[in-house]
Each structure stands twice: as structure tokens, then as C-alpha cells.
């Protein structure tokens, strides 16, 4: 069984992320969407909330599972028996960083390949930070995220504004 790990912060998961998942499941027998616990970032959603959202929006894919991890990605991937890491690329600027990470990962673990999947052109501009910014100011995010994620963003930001006004 060929297993690929698609790691990321996914705060929140966007339609661009889902596009990568849809294509990855066609290439691999199983795909694990792995939510990273990145202490350098200040996520809007908890790991449990992100895992739950991803499970719900990927439920239509029987060969997708969702997990979370802390520490080195290659150690996590090796512990799962993965053959590949999936990385999405939107632009040349993504490639420079991802290429460096792929080389470091190869140095740390020879047995795991990195597979780059280009974003669909509809999503080349899209990232989670932009989605959160639009949602924070009440903008429409329907074309960026699933209806479930849109609702979770609305709930999160309505709570945020309620706390500020109290």
C-alpha cells in the first residue's frame, strides 16, 4: 500500500488544500492529512478543531485519514510507513521554500520522497491567512472554503468580537 502524508497547519483547510487532496488520492492508495502542531504559529483553530473540520470535508474520500503530529515531519511519516510527502505549490515563491524543505527531509530520511502538486489555477492566490483576514472583517469566503469551514469561521469570529465588546 502506497501511503502519502499531506502535512500542513490547515488553519483552516481551504478549497486549494482540498484540490491537492483530491489529486493525491488518485496517485496513492492512502493519504493522511496530517495537521502540524507548529509552535511558531498562532492558529485561530485548535488542533482538535482543525482535525474535525478536515475529517468532515474529506469524508467523501474513503482512502483519506486525518491525524495530527508534533515534531519532525519525516519522523512522523516514517512512523506511519509513508512512502511520500505531498506538498502543494501555488507559485515560484512556494517552490524555493518547499525545495529546501524537500532536500532537508531527504537528508534526514532517505526513504521518503516529496511529491509536488501544482495548485489548480483557481487557487493560486489562496491561503489560509487570506481566508481568515477576509472572514475576520465579514467578507464572503464561499469561494475559498467549504460551507462547513465558512460556518466555523463565522462562529470563531463572532466569539472573538463578543469577547472584545464585553
Using only C-alpha atoms, the chain has a radius of gyration, in whole angstroms, of: 16
Tell me whether residue 105 is in a domain.
yes
pLDDT digits (tens, 9 = 90+) for 109-156: 878 999 999 988 888 888 999 999 999 998 999 999 999 999 999 999
pLDDT digits (tens, 9 = 90+) for 80-94: 999 999 999 887 777
Helical residues (DSSP H) of 28-125, grouped into ranges: 47-57, 73-80, 92-108
Instruction: Identify the band that residue 41 occupies on the pLDDT scale cut at 50, 70 and 90.
Output: confident
Of residues 95 and 150, the one with the higher pLDDT is: 150
Tell me whether residue 110 is in a domain.
yes
Q: What is the pLDDT of residue 95?
A: 83
Least confident piece of the model among 71-75, 96-100, 117-121, 136-140: 96-100
37: left (phi over 0), alpha (psi -120 to 50) or beta: beta
Among this protein's residues, is 164 annotated catalytic?
no
Strands of the sheet containing 64-69, edge to edge, are: 64-69, 30-36, 3-8, 84-89, 113-118
Q: What is the pTM assigned to this prediction?
A: 0.90
Q: Which of 55, 90, 120, 136 is catalytic?
A: 90
Q: What is the pLDDT of residue 160?
A: 59
Full domain range(s) for residue 15: 3-125
Q: Which of 30, 87, 119, 128 is catalytic?
A: 128
Among this protein's residues, is 160 annotated catalytic?
no
Q: What is the CATH number of the domain that holds 90?
A: 3.40.50.620
Q: What is the pLDDT of residue 12?
A: 97
Tell me whether residue 159 is in a domain.
no
Mean pLDDT of 65-91: 94
Among this protein's residues, is 55 annotated catalytic?
no
115: β partners: 86
Q: Which of 2, 41, 154, 160 is catalytic?
A: 41
Between the CA of residue 165 and those of 22, 133, 158, 159, what are the distances in Å?
A: 41, 19, 11, 10
Cβ contact 84:114 at 8 Å:
yes
What's the structural domain count of the chain? Answer: 1
d(CA 13, CA 53): 8
Tell me whether residue 85 is in a domain.
yes
Instruction: Identify the band that residue 165 occupies on the pLDDT scale cut at 50, 70 and 90.
Output: very low
Among this protein's residues, is 146 annotated catalytic?
no
Tell me whether residue 51 is in a domain.
yes
Amino acid at each position: 500500500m502506497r501511503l502519502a502524508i499531506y502535512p500542513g497547519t490547515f488553519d483552516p483547510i481551504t478549497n486549494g488544500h482540498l484540490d491537492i487532496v483530491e489529486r493525491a488520492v488518485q496517485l496513492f492508495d492512502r493519504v493522511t492529512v496530517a495537521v502540524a502542531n507548529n509552535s511558531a504559529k498562532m492558529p485561530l483553530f485548535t488542533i482538535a478543531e482543525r482535525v474535525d473540520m478536515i475529517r468532515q470535508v474529506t469524508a467523501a474520500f474513503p482512502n483519506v485519514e486525518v491525524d495530527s503530529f508534533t515534531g519532525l515531519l519525516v519522523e512522523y511519516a516514517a512512523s506511519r510507513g509513508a512512502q511520500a510527502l505531498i506538498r502543494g505549490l501555488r507559485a515560484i515563491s512556494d517552490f524555493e521554500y518547499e525545495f529546501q524543505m524537500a532536500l532537508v527531509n531527504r537528508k534526514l530520511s532517505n526513504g521518503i520522497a516529496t511529491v509536488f502538486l501544482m495548485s489548480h489555477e483557481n487557487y493560486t492566490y489562496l491561503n489560509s491567512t487570506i481566508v481568515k483576514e477576509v472572514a475576520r472583517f465579514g467578507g464572503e469566503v464561499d469561494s475559498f472554503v467549504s460551507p462547513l469551514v465558512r460556518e466555523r469561521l463565522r462562529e470563531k469570529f463572532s466569539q472573538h468580537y463578543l469577547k472584545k465588546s464585553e
